A and B are shown apart, each in its own frame.
Chain A
Amino acid sequence: MASSSTTADALAPGHTSASDNYLTHDKGVLSWIFTLDHKRIGLMYLMAVMVSFGLGGFFALGVRTELWTPGPTVMGPDTYNQFFTLHGAVMVFLVIIPGIPAALGNFALPIQLGAKDVAFPRLNLFSFHLWVLGALFLVLSMAISAADTGWTFYTPYSTTTNTAVIPATFGAFILGFSSIFTGLNFIVTIHKLRPPGMTFFRMPLFLWAIYSTAVIQVLATPVLGITLLMLIVERAFGIGIFDPALGGDPVLFQHFFWFYSHPAVYIMIVPAFGVISEIIPVFSRKRIFGYSFIALSSVAIAILGFLVWGHHMFTSGQSTLAGTIFSAITFLIAIPTAIKTFNWLGTMYGGRIHLDTPMLYALAFLWVFTIGGVTGIFLAVMSVDVHLHDTYFVVAHFHYVMMGGAITAFFGGLHYWWPKMTGRMYDETVGKLGAALVFIGLNVTFFPQFILGTRGMPRRYYNYLPEFQDLHQLSTVGAFVLGTGFLITAVSLLRTFGKKADAPVNPWGSATLEWQVSSPPPYYNFHTTPKVEAGPYDFQDLVYDDKIRGYVAKKPA
Chain B
Amino acid sequence: MNQLFLNLIAAGLQPAVPPFPERDSFWMPRAVSTSAGHVDWLYYFIYWTSAAVTVAVVAAMVYFVVKFRAKSRSANEQPTATSDHNTTLEITWSVLPMFFMVAFFYFGFKGYLELRTPPQGAQEVHVQGQKWSWSFTHKNGCQDNVLHVPVNKPVRLIISSVDVLHSVWIPNFRVKMDAVPGRYTDLWFEATEPGEFPLECTEYCGTSHSDMLSKVVVQSQSEYDSYLDECTKVDITAEGGQKVYEKKGCATCHTVDGSPKVGPSFKGLWGSERSFASGSPVTADENYIKESILEPQAKIVTGFPPSMPTYKGQVSDDEITALIEYLKTLK
Check if A and B associate. yes
Q: Which of B57, B176, B208 contacts A366 (CB 8 A)?
A: B57
Q: What is the CB-to-nearest-CB distance from B66 to chain A, in angstroms, rounded to a whole number?
A: 9
Taking CB atoms and an 8 Å cut-off, the chain B residues in 150-196 that contact chain A are: 163-165, 167, 169, 171-172, 174-178, 180-183, 185
Chain B residue numbers with a CB within 8 Å of A346 are: 86, 89
Show 12 A/B contacts (Cβ-Cβ < 8 Å), sorted by A: A286-B82, A332-B101, A335-B97, A346-B89, A370-B54, A370-B58, A377-B50, A378-B47, A384-B43, A384-B111, A455-B29, A461-B209
Tell me if A383 and B42 are in contact (CB < 8 A).
yes
**Chain-A contact segment, one of B20-28, B139-147, B223-231, B282-290:** B20-28
B79 engages A285 (CB within 8 Å): yes
Give the residue of A338, A375, A458 whose beta carbon is less than 8 angstroms from that of B169: A458
In the complex, the answer to whether A350 meets B68 with C-beta atoms within 8 Å is yes
List of A residues within 8 angstroms of B29 by Cβ: 455-456
- The chain B residue with its CB closest to the CB of A338 is B97
Chain B residues near A544 (CB, 8 Å)? 73-74, 76
Interface membership of B13, Cβ < 8 A: no
Contacts of A327 in B (CB 8 A): 105, 108-109, 112
Question: Are B208 and A77 touching (Cβ within 8 A)?
Answer: yes
**Chain A contact residues (Cβ within 8 angstroms of B): what range?**
35 or more
CB distance from A553 to the nearest CB of B (A): 13
Q: Is A315 an interface residue (CB 8 A)?
A: yes
Closest chain B residue, CB of each to CB of A292:
B85
* Inter-chain contacts of A462 with B (CB < 8 A): 209-210
Instruction: Output the nearest chain A residue to B197 by Cβ-Cβ distance.
Output: A456
With both beta carbons as reference points, the residue of chain A lying nearest to B79 in the complex is identified as A286
The smallest beta-carbon distance between B279 and chain A, in angstroms, is: 20
A367 at the interface (CB under 8 A from B): yes
Which A residues touch B171, using CB under 8 A? 387, 455-456
Question: Cα distance A148–B208 when bound, in Å?
Answer: 12
CA distance A327 to B203 in the complex (A): 21
Bound complex: CA A287 to CA B211 (Å): 56
A250 vs B166: C-alpha distance when bound (angstroms) = 12
Are A354 and B3 in touch, CB under 8 angstroms? Answer: no
Question: How many angstroms between the C-alpha atoms of A320 and B177 in the bound complex?
Answer: 13
Q: Which of B59-93 contact A (CB under 8 A)?
A: 60-61, 64-65, 68-70, 73-74, 76-86, 89-90, 93
Does B277 touch A at the CB level, under 8 Å? no
**A219-248 with Cβ < 8 A to chain B:** 244-245
Asked if B210 and A461 sit within 8 Å, CB to CB, the answer is: yes
Contacts of A370 in B (CB 8 A): 53-54, 57-58
Other than the given A288-B84, A391-B169, A465-B198, 15 more pairs (CB < 8 A) read: A160-B164, A251-B180, A251-B183, A284-B79, A285-B79, A289-B84, A331-B104, A335-B94, A350-B68, A367-B58, A371-B54, A387-B176, A389-B202, A455-B171, A461-B210
**Chain A CB within 8 A of B107 CB:** yes
Find the A residue at minimum CB distance from B261.
A77
Q: Is the CB of B85 within 8 A of A77?
A: no
- Provide the residues of chain A in CB contact with B169, threshold 8 Å: 390-391, 456, 458
Find out whether the CB atom of A317 lies under 8 angstroms from the CB atom of B180: yes
Least CB distance from B263 to A in Å reads 13
How many Å lie between the Cα of A352 and that of B75 in the bound state? 11
Q: How many residues of B contact A (CB 8 A)?
A: 92
How far does the alpha carbon of A292 sit from the alpha carbon of B91 in the complex, in Å?
12
Separation of A382 and B77 alpha carbons in the complex (Å)? 50
A471-B68 in contact (CB<8A): no
How far, in angstroms, from A253 to B111 measured CA to CA in the complex? 28
B105 touches A328 (CB 8 A): yes
**Cβ contact within 8 Å between A352 and B79:** yes
A157 neighbours in B (Cβ, 8 Å): 164-165, 204-206
Q: How far is the CB of B313 from chain A (nearest CB, A)?
A: 16
Cα A203 to Cα B198 with chains together (Å): 55
Report which of B64, B109, B111, B204 forms a contact with A460, defined as CB distance below 8 A: B204
Q: Pick from B113-121, B238-246, B292-300 the stretch touching chain A.
A: B113-121
Q: Once bound together, how far apart are the Cα atoms of A386 and B79, in whole Å?
A: 48
Known: A284-B68, A351-B68. A77 touches B163 (CB 8 A): no
Residue of A nearest to B104 (CB): A381
The answer, yes or no, to whether A473 is at the interface (CB within 8 Å) is yes
- Where the two chains meet, the residues of A that have a C-beta atom closer than 8 Å to any C-beta of B are 77-78, 81, 148-150, 154, 156-157, 160-162, 244-245, 249-251, 284-293, 314-317, 320, 323-324, 327-328, 331-332, 334-335, 338-339, 341-343, 345-346, 348-355, 363, 366-367, 370-371, 374-375, 377-378, 380-387, 389-391, 451, 454-456, 458-465, 470-471, 473-474, 509, 537, 540, 543-544, 546
Closest B residue to A345 using CB positions: B60
B54 neighbours in A (Cβ, 8 Å): 370-371, 374
Distance in Å from the Cβ of B113 to the closest Cβ of chain A? 7
- Contact residue among B35, B80, B177 (Cβ-Cβ distance under 8 Å from A350): B80
> Contact partner of B81 among A162, A338, A351, CB < 8 A?
A351
Shortest C-beta distance, B196 to chain A (Å), equals 13
- The yes or no answer to B17 lying at the interface (CB within 8 A) is no
Q: How far is the CB of A20 from chain B (nearest CB, A)?
A: 29
Does chain A have a CB within 8 A of B32?
no
The answer to whether A474 and B94 touch across the interface, beta carbons within 8 angstroms, is no
Q: Contact between A315 and B176 (Cβ–Cβ < 8 Å)? A: yes
Tell me the nearest residue of chain B to A245, going by C-beta.
B181
A residues less than 8 Å from B90 (CB atoms): 290, 293, 339, 342-343
Considering the complex, give the chain B residue whose CB is closest to the CB of A471.
Answer: B4
Q: How far is the CB of B219 from chain A (nearest CB, A)?
A: 21
Asked if A317 and B178 sit within 8 Å, CB to CB, the answer is yes
A287/B69 in contact, CB under 8 A: no
Residue of B nearest to A538 (CB): B84
Q: Are A474 and B4 in contact (CB under 8 A)?
A: yes
CA distance A374 to B57 in the complex (A): 12
Are the CB atoms of B203 and A250 closer together than 8 Å? no
Which of the residues A162, A244, A335, A461 comes within 8 Å of B98, measured between beta carbons? A335
Contacts of B64 in A (CB 8 A): 345, 348-349, 351, 353
Residue in B28, B49, B53, B178 with the greatest tally of chain A CB atoms within 10 Å: B178
Are B111 and A382 in contact, with the CB atoms below 8 A?
yes
A154 touches B108 (CB 8 A): no
Determine if B46 is an interface residue (Cβ-Cβ < 8 Å): yes
Chain B residues within 8 Å of A543, by CB: 76
CA distance A361 to B130 in the complex (A): 46
